[in-house]
Amino acid sequence: MSNPDAVLARMREYMVGPTRFMILHACFELGIVEALRKESGLTAADLGVVVGAKPDAVEQLLVLPLKEGFVARDETTGGYTLGSLADVAEPDLQRVLTFMGMIKTGMMRQLYYLKDSVSTGRVVGLEELYGFEGTMFEAAAVVPEVRAAWGPLARSETASVYPWFFSSFDVPDGARVLDARGGNGLGAIMTCQLKGSPGLRVTTFDRPELEAECRKNFQAQGVAEQCDFVGGDVLESLPGGYDVVLLKHFVDMYDKDEVLTILRNAHGALEPGGQVVVLAPVYPEDITDPGDLQADFFPAYILGCVVGRGGLQKLSAYRSWLEEAGFEVTKVSAKDPAEIPADAIINRVVICATKRD
């Protein structure tokens, strides 16, 4: 893109990004789409009564969905009907709305402080909005609004990712598995359920304050005999003597020096020949790939809304960092493209690597 007009036109696209998002979101949030799903042909006046807004405002909000063909309008009656939105299956729509809800609550206002977050390495948006110092994950534990926005997305993502993740690597019979930053124990529980074998033992490693909840979940799921909890910080050290170390969903929340520390700690936690399994979204090797929107999303999400540091890397970067930390990559798995919905922003891989020396 070297024609100055093309650059200016592209910047214009950027400038309408926030409004496009919020107009569409408001149409769902107000219940306009739902009302049209229930009854076709409602006018702006009808819709105004249903959703509790002035008809003029409803009409304005619907101009963009009309432009997109998401809804249609009969110019004679003024009645609206669902357009292309009617073709989207309900579970697909719900998945998108869950993501959109997180963007609205967890990002729109926080993004205003992106520059400050980058300068300070802290999520300034959380401090400004909630007086909370820490990450969005930590905030979700104590701020109801953050939990309400993040919780449903986390569940939706987990449901879509975990079955595929656990099918992407092998756990030897009777192995000892360490789930680093394993949170409330879900990874350990699923390891028992999906990779079970006689003698299998799984340890969830995370901040000590998570121990009680984690052990309660082990009990509830009937895996307390096979599972244990160890408290600590992945940047300090990991316990030793394991055959498999899982690093799920978090290396992208650290900068390079920290990722290397974590990988070295994983190396130390493994027996000779042991395996580390990394689950992470990765940038495409060709960053100009227009089909991959992670560059458009993640830097602002991770730096400005979630942790104030870190970010995605290319697979080649993780490969070289794993080698630097004493591993040899043995297998990389990506999701079957046919199983990735068209609205998906995140593109994760599973990297298996063996302790080399």
- Please, which of residues 110-139 interact with a second copy by CB under 8 A? 111-112, 114-115, 118-119, 121
The number of beta carbons lying within 10 Å of the beta carbon of residue 284 is 15
Helix pair angle (4-15, 17-29), 10° resolution: 30
Chain-centre distance of CA 86, in angstroms?
27
Stretch of residues binding a second copy (CB under 8 A), selected from 26-34, 148-156, 229-237, 323-331:
26-34
242-248 and 227-231 beta bridge pairing? unpaired
Closest separation between CB of residue 109 and a second copy, Å?
4
Site string for a second copy, 150-189 (x = CB under 8 A): ----------------------------------------
Q: What is the dihedral of CA 314, 163, 179, 105, to 10 degrees?
A: 70
Q: Of residues 40-79, which lie at the interface with a second copy (CB under 8 A)?
A: 51-54, 56-61, 63-64, 66-70
Q: Of residues 245-274, which lie at the interface with a second copy (CB under 8 A)?
A: 255-256
Stretch of residues binding a second copy (CB under 8 A), selected from 102-110, 135-143, 179-187, 230-238:
102-110
Q: Of residues 325-354, which lie at the interface with a second copy (CB under 8 A)?
A: 341-345
Closest separation between CB of residue 42 and a second copy, Å?
16
Closest separation between CB of residue 144 and a second copy, Å?
16
CB-based contact 58:32 (threshold 8 Å): yes
Closest separation between CB of residue 347 and a second copy, Å?
12
Residue type, 285: E
Closest separation between CB of residue 106 and a second copy, Å?
11
3-state secondary structure 308-319: CCCCCEEHHHHH
Q: 334 CB contacts (<8 Å, ≥6 apart)?
A: 347, 348, 349
Out of 137, 158, 297, 349, point to the residue binding a second copy (CB under 8 A).
297
Closest separation between CB of residue 312 and a second copy, Å?
8
Check residue 144 for interaction with a second copy (CB under 8 A).
no
| Between 162 and 297, CB nearer to a second copy | 297
Residue 123: which of 101, 104, 100, 146 has the closest Cα?
146
Check residue 88 for interaction with a second copy (CB under 8 A).
yes
Check residue 99 for interaction with a second copy (CB under 8 A).
yes
